[in-house]
Amino acid sequence: MPLTRVYLPLTAADLDDLAAGRSVGPAPRSAHAVTAALGRPGLTTDEEELEHTAWLAAADEAVLLSGDGRRRRVIGSADVDAATVGRPTAPDVASRVELSAPLERRGFVSFHVDEEPGATDAADLLWYDVTELDDVRALLAGG
């Protein structure tokens, strides 16, 4: 089964679900990924650059989920079955995809969390391995 890397903004409740062994959903769930509309690797862009663009779109969207703007953004990176990734009828951004199945913890590969609450720059996001889920949850609980 081919996999697609997706990036999605997450809430503290989503992280609690993952920690409890529940999936993140329900489907369809909006996420971001490298899409044909975003571009194809070539002379001016490469796969890593396109992935970064999709990741940035998820980071921008995570600002909206952080509520009052004083909370930390969380972005999850996950590898999902490509068959569950589709394009919405009228995507608002080039990287927008819809996941037709809930995401299980085993699909996640990393989390990205703001170093300080209320940060909005991509450089402010720290990288956490999926095995550090409890650390990410503790960071969110602390502010």
CB atoms near residue 111 (< 10 Å): 25
* 102 φ/ψ sector (left φ>0, alpha ψ -120 to 50, else beta): beta
CATH superfamily, region 3-141: Protein of unknown function DUF952 (3.20.170.20)
pLDDT of the residue at 63? 82
Section 121-128 average pLDDT: 89
pLDDT of the residue at 44? 57
pLDDT of the residue at 88? 85
pLDDT of the residue at 7? 97
Q: What is the pTM of this model?
A: 0.90
Among 33-37, 42-46, 123-127, whose mean pLDDT is lowest?
A: 42-46
What's the mean per-residue pLDDT of the chain?
89
